[in-house]
């Protein structure tokens, strides 16, 4: 059972506006003991725990963080459901309510920032949301938890970039850890047995997703023929790593790659090649919306959870824009193009799967 006395004690002390020295005097312990407890380097003696709970007017479960753990888990589940469905305004409301009860929870703030970034609305509202996201991220870049701090730094880079401040985005990005010095690369060295194997599989899956991120970003700055070569290599790598195609998120990434390759082919006046890429895009997109089959599994996917992509992640493909996007106008009138548009706008593809 995981206890959260350190977090709770610090929170309760600050609610009373007490210093560590003042609380130490009240509890008849040393300030060093309070500091040690709040750092999570030890726990109060069992005989004084009831006195601490009584002083702050909370139950022992609350002091241990058990009550809050369940409530926070419920908030996180609510946020995930809204985020997966692309209901960003609802996600913001859920996080604001949660933060009124738990103002010091950094993960709640990460989720609020994420949802603020995704909210639509008028240009004025979008600018206001972005300004709030930047302010929250800047405030918590010194968070004690390095994973949460790096998540904020990443979000902050994105906020600056979307806010028309690329220089500040680049400055912040340089402070993020590089792709080698990561949790995945460290853990796989130190774990043993099945845990080592599982960590390796999770790490490779993370790197495969990062591969498409790099390739799609590079394609934005490359010549069309270079973009096609790079993204084809990414797709080939994914097929080699996961030949059973049982990782829906990677299927979605391949759909995104083929969509970009179709645009590049059109720039080269290669209409037939563009149509082929779009047909592969639709095929990958459709299969990404389904849960991965229990078997057969690719060796690197065995034992991992690989659910179908969420509605929000799927929407990032932007297939709904195909009928109106000027980039695809050269394909209008082609019989294959009509079939592609029909498939891209089918309810079974455009909507979330139902249970």
Q: What is the pLDDT of residue 232?
A: 97
Q: Which of 109, 211, 110, 213 is nearest to 154 (CA)?
A: 110
How many whole angstroms from its chain centre is CA 94?
A: 17
For the residues 287-298, what does the mean pLDDT come to? Answer: 77
Task: Band the pLDDT of 3: cuts 50, 70, 90.
Answer: low
pLDDT higher at 67 or 114: 114
Give tens-digit pLDDT for 322-340: 888 999 999 988 889 989 9
User: Above 80 in pLDDT, residue 302?
Assistant: yes
Q: What is the pLDDT of residue 7?
A: 78
Burial 113-138 (b: 16+ CB within 10 A, else e): bbbbbbbeeeeeeeeebbebbbebbe
User: Above 50 in pLDDT, residue 353?
Assistant: no
Tokens representing 196? 């080592």
Give tens-digit pLDDT for 78-97: 998 898 888 889 999 999 98
Percentage helix, strand, coil for the chain under 3-state DSSP, each rounded to 5? 70, 0, 30
Give tens-digit pLDDT for 93-142: 999 988 887 776 778 888 898 898 888 788 888 888 888 888 887 777 66
CATH number for the 5-64 domain, one of 1.10.260.40, 1.20.1050.140, 3.90.226.10, 1.10.3720.10?
1.10.260.40
Task: Band the pLDDT of 262: cuts 50, 70, 90.
Answer: very high
Q: Look up residue 353 and give its DSSP letter.
A: P
User: Above 50 in pLDDT, residue 164?
Assistant: yes
Q: What is the pLDDT of residue 2?
A: 47
139-143, 144-148, 345-349, range with the lowest pLDDT: 345-349
CA gap 84, 69 in Å, rounded:
22
CA gap 317, 314 in Å, rounded:
6
Give tens-digit pLDDT for 174-197: 888 888 888 888 889 999 999 999
Task: Band the pLDDT of 349: cuts 50, 70, 90.
Answer: low
CA gap 199, 62 in Å, rounded:
34
CA gap 44, 350 in Å, rounded:
55
Q: How many helices (H) and strands (E) does the chain have?
A: 19, 0
Q: What is the pLDDT of residue 267?
A: 96
For the residues 50-56, what does the mean pLDDT come to? Answer: 86
Domain formed by 87-173, architecture: Alpha Horseshoe (1.25)
| Domain residue ranges of the chain, discontinuous segments joined by + | 5-64, 87-173, 215-350
The share of the chain scoring above pLDDT 90, in percent, equals 34
Q: What is the pLDDT of residue 125?
A: 87
The tally of CA atoms less than 13 A away on the side-chain side of residue 209 is: 10
CB 160, CB 166: distance < 8 Å: yes
2-16, 61-75, 82-96, 278-292, range with the lowest pLDDT: 61-75
CA gap 131, 115 in Å, rounded:
13
Task: Band the pLDDT of 348: cuts 50, 70, 90.
Answer: very low
User: Above 70 in pLDDT, residue 309?
Assistant: yes
């Amino acid at each position: 059972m995981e206890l959260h006395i350190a977090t709770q004690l610090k929170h309760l002390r600050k609610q009373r506006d007490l210093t560590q020295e003042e609380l130490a005097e009240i509890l008849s312990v040393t300030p060093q003991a309070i500091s040690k407890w709040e750092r999570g380097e030890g726990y109060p003696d069992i005989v004084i725990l009831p006195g601490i709970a009584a002083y702050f007017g909370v139950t022992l479960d609350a002091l241990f963080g058990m009550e809050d753990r369940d409530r926070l888990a419920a908030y996180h589940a609510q946020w995930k459901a809204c985020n997966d469905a692309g209901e960003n305004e609802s996600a913001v409301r859920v996080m604001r309510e949660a933060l009124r009860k738990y103002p010091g929870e950094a993960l709640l703030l990460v989720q609020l920032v994420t949802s603020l970034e995704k909210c639509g609305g008028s240009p004025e509202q979008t600018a206001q949301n972005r300004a709030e996201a930047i302010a929250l991220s800047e405030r918590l870049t010194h968070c004690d938890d390095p994973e949460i701090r790096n998540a904020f730094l990443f979000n902050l880079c994105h906020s600056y970039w979307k806010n028309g401040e690329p220089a500040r985005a680049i400055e912040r990005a340089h402070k993020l850890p590089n792709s080698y010095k990561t949790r995945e690369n460290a853990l796989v060295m130190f774990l043993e047995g099945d845990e080592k194997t599982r960590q390796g599989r999770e790490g490779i899956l993370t790197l495969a997703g990062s591969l498409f991120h790099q390739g799609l970003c590079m394609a934005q700055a490359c010549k069309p023929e270079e973009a096609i070569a790079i993204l084809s290599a990414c797709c080939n790598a994914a097929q080699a790593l996961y030949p059973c195609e049982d990782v829906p998120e990677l299927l979605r990434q391949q759909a995104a790659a083929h969509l970009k390759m179709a645009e590049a082919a059109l720039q080269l006046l290669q209409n037939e090649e563009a149509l082929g890429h779009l047909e592969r895009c639709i095929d990958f997109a459709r299969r990404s919306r389904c849960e991965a089959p229990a078997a057969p599994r690719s060796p690197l996917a065995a034992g991992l959870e690989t659910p179908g992509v969420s509605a929000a992640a799927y929407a990032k493909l932007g297939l709904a824009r195909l009928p109106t996007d000027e980039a695809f106008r050269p394909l209008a009138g082609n019989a294959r193009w009509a079939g592609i548009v029909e498939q891209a706008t089918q309810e079974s593809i455009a909507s979330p799967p139902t249970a």
